[in-house]
Amino acid sequence: MADVVRGGPYPRTVRRLRPLTEAECYARCYGAWDPTVKVVRLEARPPRFPANVSGEDLRRALEERLDARVVDEAGIEAA
């Protein structure tokens, strides 16, 4: 137990009062702030491929495939 940083048992959950910023996380992990480190925000990248199908179309296609599978299984059991 000599290599334990903190004495006593750890709580099961840690309750955060607010989310930590990236700068606060860096400071907690690496100690003092280094002036050579710069926190930047990246812009969201555009999608790599345009979506030709909507989510609703995908849902309908899935339902059709599931219904066809149920009909095929019923036909196999009847034979």
| CB contact set of 20 (below 8 Å; sequence gap of 6+) | 28
What is the pTM (predicted TM-score) of this model?
0.33
Q: Token digits for 38? A: 């710069």
- pLDDT at residue 67 tops 70: yes
What pLDDT does 25 receive?
A: 83
Sign of CA dihedral 16, 21, 24, 28: positive
Amino acid at 56: E
**Residue of 76 and 62 predicted with greater confidence:** 62
| Containing structural domain, residue 69 | 54-79
**Which tens digits make up the pLDDT trace of 10-66?**
677 777 788 888 888 877 888 776 777 777 888 988 878 877 888 899 999 999 999
> Integer distance in angstroms from the first to the last C-alpha of the chain?
68
Does residue 75 form part of some domain?
yes
Number of folded domains that form the chain: 1
Does residue 9 form part of some domain?
no
Does residue 62 form part of some domain?
yes
